Amino acid sequence: MKIIITGGAGFIGSHVVRLFVTKYPEYQIINLDALTYAGNLENLRDIENAPNYRFVKGDIADQQFVDELFAREEPDAVIHLAAESHVDRSITDPLAFVKTNVLGTVHLLNAAKNLWKPLGFEGKTFYHVSTDEVYGSLEMGPDMFTEETAYDPRSPYSASKASSDHFVRAWYHTYGLPIKLSNCSNNYGPNHFPEKLIPLAIHRIRTRQPVPVYGKGENVRDWLFVKDHATAIDAVFHKGKVGDTYNIGGVNEWQNLALIHLLCDVVDEKTGQMPGTSRQLITFVKDRAGHDLRYAIDSSKIMNELGWKPSVTFEQGLAQTVDWYLANAEWLERVTTGAYQDYYLQQYSN
Ligand code: NAD
Ligand code: TYD
């Protein structure tokens, strides 16, 4: 089987590529990635010479490129992760999200349909990886997003992902494209670009700089270790029903401030600092526009139907994550120069 994995140089994509390349030596894996600021081939150094792995640089927003790639490679499956993925960037540049997340997804859907339709779609899979943010924002309390929750996206990022989800389902109903979909909660772990909360906070604590917390730090997210998301994607790809959607989460809700306190304490412990030292770096900054209050996801369908469950507790996953960033200071330094510093100044200046 030949699989195109899009966005394989990014955070989650690199873990999915590694899992598939090492677990399925009989598969050919093509990593298709534009190498935006978020894509980094260093994430895949350990497997880049594997005989069943290849990297192709290209932009999914370029329809001709996508069509030619599919005609040339004739993939049997697509696992689609390429996206603009940061809510804050979607607020300043929404069109980039429309181009990659909406148009790019439609280009892939069309290319797959055109290639596979004459073959009757037999044995083919188009798997779209999405987010729980398409469901909108929950109040505090016991409610959770299920696969039946109505879409209610509220940021340009989540609106673009919701739109792409709708297009994926439309290609299933209209053209018979064999699709699968999953919607996952917030991931954390090694190789996470330090614009998202957890890697940004670790980077700032490590370099003894203020750690920005939006608003009062009361917003709630459900956090899943990235390697557990990769195993969930493996389960959905191989065992999920065609046309179906699976919610994936960590059953692990944290208010942002409590999470940052825990993170500060873990870093203090691992770097031999007095307990409480890093908490002094916490700085409350202007809230995000339209900041979704709470996400919580009910993963019982994937757990019951596909037998998937997270392999680590949050404490274990966070410890592994902090260890990785402390051991890979050079990775962090290389991705936080130049353009990153301009981004930080612009994003956090008021
Ligand atoms: P990321 O930003 O770390 O990586 C995205 C990758 O896509 C990068 O390698 C980038 O170079 C590539 N890319 C961007 N635009 C492209 C284009 N036009 N053509 C080709 N490649 C392009 O993102 P991530 O956090 O790894 O997220 C991966 C997917 O998982 C996304 O679809 C995202 O919506 C979804 N998701 C993420 C999370 C999370 O917590 N990070 C949670 C649920 C779902
Ligand atoms: P983020 O990692 O951007 O993920 P998402 O917005 O997709 O859930 O943010 C996680 C939470 O942390 C969210 O409530 C916003 C908040 N946050 C901060 O408080 N400070 C920051 O510097 C960032 C990037 C996020």
Q: Within a domain: residue 262?
A: no
CA separation (Å) from 347 to 88, 188, 323?
Answer: 8, 21, 27
The mean pLDDT of 65-89, rounded to a whole number, is 98
Q: Flag whether pLDDT at 349 surpasses 90.
A: no
- 148 part of the active site: no
CA dist 29 and 23 (Å) reads: 11
Which protein residue's CA is at the shortest distance from atom 20 of ligand 2? 213
Q: Which is the closest atom of ligand 2 to the Cα of 186?
A: 8
142-181 pLDDT, tens digit per residue, is 999 999 999 999 999 999 999 999 999 999 999 999 999 9
Instruction: Give the per-residue pLDDT at 244.
Output: 98
The sign one gets for the Cα dihedral 242, 179, 50, 19 is negative
Q: Within a domain: residue 274?
A: no
Instruction: Give the per-residue pLDDT at 86.
Output: 98
Which protein residue's CA is at the shortest distance from atom 29 of ligand 1? 81
The mean pLDDT of 330-343, rounded to a whole number, is 94
CA of 197 to the centre of ligand 2 (A): 5
Q: Which residue in the list 33, 59, 84, 133 is annotated as catalytic?
A: 133
300 sits in the region (left: phi over 0; alpha: psi -120 to 50; else beta) called alpha
The mean pLDDT of 24-38, rounded to a whole number, is 98
Predicted TM-score (pTM) of the model is 0.99
Q: How would you classify the pairing of strands 220-225 and 253-255?
A: antiparallel
Structural domains counted in the chain:
1
* Token duo for residue 280: 């002094």
Q: Within a domain: residue 144?
A: yes
* Ligand 2 within 6 A of CB of 90: no
Q: Within a domain: residue 216?
A: yes
CA dist 153 and 165 (Å) reads: 12
Which residues lie closer than 8 Å to 94 by C-beta, 6 or more apart? 156, 160
CA of 191 to the centre of ligand 1 (A): 12
Q: Flag whether pLDDT at 350 surpasses 70.
A: no
Residue 196 CB-half CA count within 13 A: 20
Q: Flag whether pLDDT at 24 surpasses 80.
A: yes
Q: Within a domain: residue 276?
A: no
- 37 part of the active site: no
Q: Within a domain: residue 271?
A: no
Q: Which residue in the list 33, 132, 195, 292 is annotated as catalytic?
A: 132
CA of 9 to the centre of ligand 2 (A): 22
The mean pLDDT of 16-36, rounded to a whole number, is 98
CATH number of the domain within which 62 lies: 3.40.50.720
The mean pLDDT of 83-96, rounded to a whole number, is 98
138: domain range? 2-257+281-348
Instruction: Give the per-residue pLDDT at 11.
Output: 98
Q: Within a domain: residue 270?
A: no
Percentage, residues of the chain above pLDDT 90: 99
Nearest CA to 266 among 212, 223, 206, 332? 206
* Ligand 2 within 6 A of CB of 214: yes
The mean pLDDT of 67-73, rounded to a whole number, is 98
116-141 pLDDT, tens digit per residue, is 999 999 999 999 999 999 999 999 99
The mean pLDDT of 19-38, rounded to a whole number, is 98
48-62 pLDDT, tens digit per residue, is 999 999 999 999 999
211-230 pLDDT, tens digit per residue, is 999 999 999 999 999 999 99
* Contact (CB, 8 A) for 101 and 161: yes
Instruction: Give the per-residue pLDDT at 252.
Output: 97
